[in-house]
Chains A and B, each alone.
Chain A
Amino acid sequence: MAEQDFINCGIGGMLKVTVEDGVIKRMRPLRLTEEDGGHWSIEAKGKRFTDPRKTTINTFNIAERTRVYSENRIKYPMKRKNFDPGGERHPELRGKDEYVRITWDEALDIVTSEIKRVREAYGPAAITAFVSSHHNYGLLYYKMGPMPRFYNILGYTQLLDNPDSWEGWHWGSMHTWGWYWRFGQCDNFDMLAEALKNTEQVVYWSVDPNTSAGGYGGQETVIWREWLRELGIGAIFIDPYCNATAAHMADKWLAPRPGTDAALAQAIAHQWIVDDTYDHWFIDNRTVYFDEWKDYILGKVDGVPKTPEWAAPICDIPAHTIKAVARQWMSKKTMLATGSMYGTAGACRNSYATEWCSLMVHLAAMMGIGKEGVNIWGGTAHGAPLDMRFKSAGYSDCGWDVFGLVAKQPTFPDRNSVTQRVYRLSLPEAILDGHIEWLGEGFCVQYPEQQFKKMQYPEPGPNGAEIRMIHRHGGSFISTMSDTSKWVRMYQSPKLEFVVMQDCHWQSETKFGDVILPASTNFEHQDISEWAQPGGYGNGNVNCNHRILMYQQKCIEPLWESKPDYQIYCELAERLGFLEEYTEGNSEEDWIMKVFDITDLPKHISYEDFKKKGYFVVPSVPDDYKPTISNQWYYEGRPVDTPDRFNPLADTEHATEMATPSGKIEFKRTILEQYFPDDEERPIMPRYIPLFEGHETKGLVEKYPLIIMTPHAKFSYHTHQDNKIQWLDDIRQHRIIKDGYAYWPMRLNPGDAEARGIKDGDIVMAYNDRARVLGVALVTERCRPGLLHSYQAGAKYDPLEPGNADSIDRGGCVNLLSPSRYTSKNACGEANMSYLVEVRKWEA
């Protein structure tokens, strides 16, 4: 049968999928035609840069067809052998039990009867359900889709996600300059043209855009950084590891000890003060409390001037180098490429990361952020000259029910009858200890004080209940949360009477389920989406060369006995008597049509044509388009003019202000004065605080002298592709095959390796008091001394003793080693980026 092409989208780029005889044969990027439009060009420094006329795909999505057909796909509904819902449940066997195949009817009957039983016995709050942060791409099927809508109607304890990719920005810099609707990071409109035309230098601080600012946008912005090089725009990288982008293009690489970035920032500020090179006008007119902070930096408060000489032994960078970098930085129009939608190289997930994140804003203020060529540019990965006003839909535009964009009855925020909440980061403690307290309502993007809200589980009063049932929809927290052996213990707790795992693949936690429901990938159903458009808290952060809306066409029938998630929840809803409310009579395609209607698509293309073609490129901005560069309005004292849809100050009398109490960038986080005036761990005035497990931690560092860093993985979007795409194991920077097993790399410096008798290619064990994880040593000069580098999100939890929470893990889930402790006591973020470990050669 002839080949047929379909349009769909992976988590790293849109895909043209070729199918022959019902089998996916290959996936390619898209070549844009003249008719597609979307052209743009930028004239800068005598050169002309134009939009690439083909899309890119991030590496891990290129082999996407092997993810679809992976031998790790869940083929049939399964029941854990020793789980008898009518008899003995044997929770202690979760993680080491066998599975038997059952029918869909049997599976859904068990799930339905368990839901009813738990609600009857304990109340609706006794059920929680949660999704992977990054599942198969598509607006309707993504994390805010079928599962939360179902459970909002049923009523359940919503699991609040900690703001994982943005912790320090969310808990820290938010209070320095506002931007709470964006986790404390600014937007990035029209930055590319601004940088090419006016910027002379970029400082990349804890970012690796060629690795993970790709995110949903694939490799779209790789070419931008080649243009920066072509124009001779300098690149300084600050990262304990010479990351992929640094290794490719750094003019200077500074490697502070992990967790000492705040000290380095203070020393740079000190140098700018001493050299008197900072932007006085901006400080005087657009900030407050600088003089108090300046006194602190100069040592007038604690007698310790934060000089480069002071920072040198902390960061382990010579003082003369710190001075030279500070001077080079301020001598040119510089973009500070830090933060980004994708959290990249990870310093924001250190303990006390609030301090470094706030200090990044301090340095940007001293530069005069928003003047020509000078800004914070998230990873250099956003801000093509695109029409950001074209109305589309992003998956986080409507809170936890994306169907609510078009439903007659949105189910968020009011439909969920249960007011009890639980916190993702501490779910194991919640189950095992029966009680947790934390602060904040998860992604606290509604108002700045939202993250100060005291929360507890169970909810006091008659509506609270301990959780007895978990319904997990994709994902693998053993690789991405903190101190994750406690997740093994949690699943084995007798308090959890029923666990259902719904997923496409066997992942780290699947084998802790009592019932397993096989879900289909996005290629096995339809959806609608815009490429790389989160909407909501990420609106406008499209990191692509074009805005492209897609009709994600169904390429193949669901494989084996898998079903699309929406269908699974429909069948459950039907059994539970609320199908009509859940679907409002809409099929999958009915919802797609309704979403189509609320976008600007109907102005340009009919539904039938859009469905047939599969994509639409948003037209170019008009010839007289005036860029609205992020923060430039603030510098110039004008009302905010960027197309940031969620800025609450826009079009108000405060439109020229930052969303802080004073309306300006604050060198003291005054909002904290009211709520946490005595918090030494997130003080009013940001300052360097050593890692709670770092080079200064006496009593621990002698035992575990290496500091690990665990940034976002390069060849997998978190756990999404690893262990499902075997070809990735042939890339040595992803996994290293030794004796037939694909180990996770653990990188260390030659001096540290030699001191431990470790050679490149040896199987090694990283360990501390919390866990033991195997990997293969990758000995490299790219690691600074004292560093163990191993990406997080290895998706293969492979304990040598299945079911034993303390087992050695062979698969490389380094987050097992990380601490439970929050970012700081009132900043309830994951602080699992850097902490103490040791490594030794492994003899089986």
Chain B
Amino acid sequence: MTRYGMVIDVNTCVGCYNCFLTCRDEYAGNDYPGYSAAQPMSGMNWMKVNEIERGQYPHVKVDHVPVTCAHCDSAACVTLDQTGAIYRREDGVVLIDPEKAKGNKGLVGLCPYRQIEWNEELQLAQKCTLCAHLLDKGDPEPRCVESCPSGALVFGDLDDPSSKVAALVASGTEVMHPEYAMGEKVTYRHLPKKFVAGTVIYGDVDEVATGIDVVLTGDAGSCTMKTNGFGDFEFEDLEDAANYTVEIEAPGYVAATLTTKTNRDIYLGEIVLQK
């Protein structure tokens, strides 16, 4: 049985906002009877992109996290809605019946991810439909996936072991709130965690220190990496708000030890080793 889902790879998302605008292009002012009423011409974000800037000058990167309805297998909105307006199809798509839902503002609060929005003009709760009206006509994917230029959005049948999306899920994906335990079918790879980075310098000769060992220690243990050709190191995918110690050793130099806490991504700056 087909069970539609999507995997979003944050590392591959370039932050082009194609998905955001494409969703609006499909739905703003366009009715799909039986599936969805039109979005208003502006204001709704069934697919939105969150921009997360990480680090401090000059060690900075930006992650973009597209967010949409996860069409959960055990969706809170389906479970809690007493009116039957929100329902899950056999293929896993979760829809809000635009007729049955009319006037019911209470539906908006049912999603802990806040993916249900209110259309004031139509007095209607609305959300992403996974472009079910297109899938049912034979399109291979929703429009957001179609317009993604980097391949960050992958869509398909989660129950088809040969599908790319199933393979990605098997390799390990995550959700933003595992504690909701709703069987989200839009899952993520590479959701941003925290990094600790720095640049090591040999103080006596004013050169970057390449290929030397840097050891990071936290509650979960230690790991080691070598500085690269720019003297940089970066430990990624670390815990949020955790304490870490960084130890840098180079033969002939006094070892350096720094401590930090990952309340945000940390660039420790230039760490100058002295003889």
Query: Which residues of A are at the interface with B, using a C-beta cutoff of 8 A?
Result: 25-29, 54, 56-57, 59, 62-63, 65-66, 210, 218-220, 222-223, 226, 242, 244-245, 247-248, 250-255, 318-321, 323-325, 327-328, 331, 715, 726-727, 730-733, 749, 780-785
Nearest chain B CB to A21's CB is how many angstroms away? 12
- B149 touching A223 by the CB < 8 A rule? yes
Nearest chain A CB to B35's CB is how many angstroms away? 15
Nearest chain B CB to A632's CB is how many angstroms away? 27
B117 within 8 A of A: no
Which of B48-56, B83-91, B166-174, B180-188 lies at the interface?
Answer: B48-56
Interface size on B, residues (CB 8 A): 45
Q: A321-B208, A324-B208 are in contact. Are A715 and B17 (CB under 8 A)?
A: yes
- B9 closest partner in A (C-beta): A226
Q: How far apart sit A783 and B62, CA to CA, in the bound complex (Å)? A: 13
B129 within 8 A of A: no
- B42 touching A244 by the CB < 8 A rule? no
Partner of B147 from the list A57, A65, A328, A782 (CB cut-off 8 Å) is A57
Nearest chain A CB to B193's CB is how many angstroms away? 17
Nearest chain B CB to A15's CB is how many angstroms away? 11
- B21 touching A59 by the CB < 8 A rule? yes
- B62 touching A782 by the CB < 8 A rule? yes
Q: A324-B230, A327-B229, A328-B230 are in contact. Are A781 and B24 (CB under 8 A)?
A: no
- B18 touching A244 by the CB < 8 A rule? no
10 additional contacts, CB 8 Å, given A219-B149, A781-B57? Answer: A26-B30, A28-B146, A54-B146, A65-B25, A226-B12, A253-B59, A320-B201, A324-B229, A324-B231, A784-B58
- B57 touching A28 by the CB < 8 A rule? no
Partner of A223 from the list B57, B62, B151, B232 (CB cut-off 8 Å) is B151
B207 within 8 A of A: yes
Residue among A25, A321, A323 with max Cβ neighbours from chain B (10 Å): A321
- A28 touching B143 by the CB < 8 A rule? yes
Q: How far apart sit A253 and B61, CA to CA, in the bound complex (Å)? A: 10
Nearest chain A CB to B257's CB is how many angstroms away? 22
Nearest chain A CB to B148's CB is how many angstroms away? 9
Partner of B58 from the list A26, A220, A253, A732 (CB cut-off 8 Å) is A253
- B16 touching A210 by the CB < 8 A rule? yes
B99 within 8 A of A: no
B-chain residues with CB within 8 Å of residue A218 when the two chains form the complex: 149
Q: How far apart sit A242 and B51, CA to CA, in the bound complex (Å)? A: 14
Partner of A732 from the list B51, B57, B150 (CB cut-off 8 Å) is B51
B-chain residues with CB within 8 Å of residue A785 when the two chains form the complex: 57
B60 within 8 A of A: yes
Nearest chain B CB to A252's CB is how many angstroms away? 5
- B24 closest partner in A (C-beta): A727
Q: How far apart sit A691 and B9, CA to CA, in the bound complex (Å)? A: 42
B119 within 8 A of A: no
A-chain residues with CB within 8 Å of residue B60 when the two chains form the complex: 242, 247, 253, 781-782
Q: How far apart sit A66 and B18, CA to CA, in the bound complex (Å)? A: 15
Partner of A328 from the list B18, B55, B229 (CB cut-off 8 Å) is B229
Nearest chain A CB to B118's CB is how many angstroms away? 17
Partner of B230 from the list A26, A325, A781 (CB cut-off 8 Å) is A325
Total A-B Cβ pairs within 8 A = 129
Q: A62-B21, A63-B24, A226-B12 are in contact. Are A29 and B56 (CB under 8 A)?
A: no
B-chain residues with CB within 8 Å of residue A28 when the two chains form the complex: 143, 146-147
What are 22 A-to-B residue pairs whose CB atoms are below 8 Å?
A: A25-B30, A56-B18, A56-B149, A59-B18, A62-B25, A63-B24, A63-B25, A210-B16, A222-B150, A223-B151, A226-B150, A248-B62, A251-B228, A252-B232, A324-B208, A328-B229, A727-B24, A781-B53, A781-B55, A782-B53, A782-B57, A783-B57
Nearest first, the 5 closest Cβ-Cβ pairs linking A and B are: A219-B149, A247-B62, A222-B149, A62-B21, A324-B208
A-chain residues with CB within 8 Å of residue B21 when the two chains form the complex: 59, 62-63, 727
Residue among B24, B62, B228 with max Cβ neighbours from chain A (10 Å): B62
Partner of A255 from the list B58, B62, B146, B230 (CB cut-off 8 Å) is B58
B-chain residues with CB within 8 Å of residue A782 when the two chains form the complex: 53, 57, 60, 62
Q: How far apart sit A321 and B210, CA to CA, in the bound complex (Å)? A: 11
- A727 touching B42 by the CB < 8 A rule? yes
A-chain residues with CB within 8 Å of residue B229 when the two chains form the complex: 324, 327-328, 331
- A26 touching B25 by the CB < 8 A rule? yes
Nearest chain A CB to B80's CB is how many angstroms away? 30
Nearest chain B CB to A736's CB is how many angstroms away? 13
- A244 closest partner in B (C-beta): B15
B-chain residues with CB within 8 Å of residue A210 when the two chains form the complex: 14, 16
Nearest chain A CB to B151's CB is how many angstroms away? 7
- A57 closest partner in B (C-beta): B147
B206 within 8 A of A: yes
Q: How far apart sit A49 and B71, CA to CA, in the bound complex (Å)? A: 32
Nearest chain A CB to B109's CB is how many angstroms away? 23
B244 within 8 A of A: no
A-chain residues with CB within 8 Å of residue B55 when the two chains form the complex: 781
Q: How far apart sit A612 and B207, CA to CA, in the bound complex (Å)? A: 65
B-chain residues with CB within 8 Å of residue A223 when the two chains form the complex: 149-151
Nearest chain B CB to A322's CB is how many angstroms away? 10
- A785 closest partner in B (C-beta): B57
- B61 touching A250 by the CB < 8 A rule? yes
Q: How far apart sit A782 and B78, CA to CA, in the bound complex (Å)? A: 42
Nearest chain A CB to B271's CB is how many angstroms away? 12
Q: How far apart sit A726 and B40, CA to CA, in the bound complex (Å)? A: 13
- A725 closest partner in B (C-beta): B21
A-chain residues with CB within 8 Å of residue B29 when the two chains form the complex: 25
Q: How far apart sit A275 and B160, CA to CA, in the bound complex (Å)? A: 56
Nearest chain B CB to A222's CB is how many angstroms away? 4
- B48 closest partner in A (C-beta): A730
Nearest chain A CB to B268's CB is how many angstroms away? 14
Residue among A222, A223, A323 with max Cβ neighbours from chain B (10 Å): A222
Partner of B57 from the list A25, A62, A219, A784 (CB cut-off 8 Å) is A784
- B56 closest partner in A (C-beta): A781
Q: How far apart sit A696 and B35, CA to CA, in the bound complex (Å)? A: 63
Q: A28-B146, A318-B270, A320-B231 are in contact. Are A749 and B18 (CB under 8 A)?
A: no
B-chain residues with CB within 8 Å of residue A26 when the two chains form the complex: 25-26, 30
B22 within 8 A of A: yes
Nearest chain A CB to B41's CB is how many angstroms away? 8
Scan residues 59-83 of chain B and give those whose CB is less than 8 A from a CB of chain A.
59-62
B20 within 8 A of A: yes
- A62 touching B147 by the CB < 8 A rule? yes
Q: How far apart sit A726 and B42, CA to CA, in the bound complex (Å)? A: 8
- A255 touching B57 by the CB < 8 A rule? yes
Map CB proximity to A onto B175-212 as digits: 1 under 8 Å, 0 otherwise: 00000000000000000000000010100001110100
Nearest chain B CB to A357's CB is how many angstroms away? 25
- B228 closest partner in A (C-beta): A251
Q: How far apart sit A318 and B58, CA to CA, in the bound complex (Å)? A: 12
Q: How far apart sit A25 and B41, CA to CA, in the bound complex (Å)? A: 12
Q: How far apart sit A255 and B59, CA to CA, in the bound complex (Å)? A: 10
Q: How far apart sit A323 and B207, CA to CA, in the bound complex (Å)? A: 8
Q: A26-B26, A26-B30, A781-B53 are in contact. Are A321 and B42 (CB under 8 A)?
A: no
Q: How far apart sit A320 and B202, CA to CA, in the bound complex (Å)? A: 9
B-chain residues with CB within 8 Å of residue A715 when the two chains form the complex: 17
- A248 touching B18 by the CB < 8 A rule? no
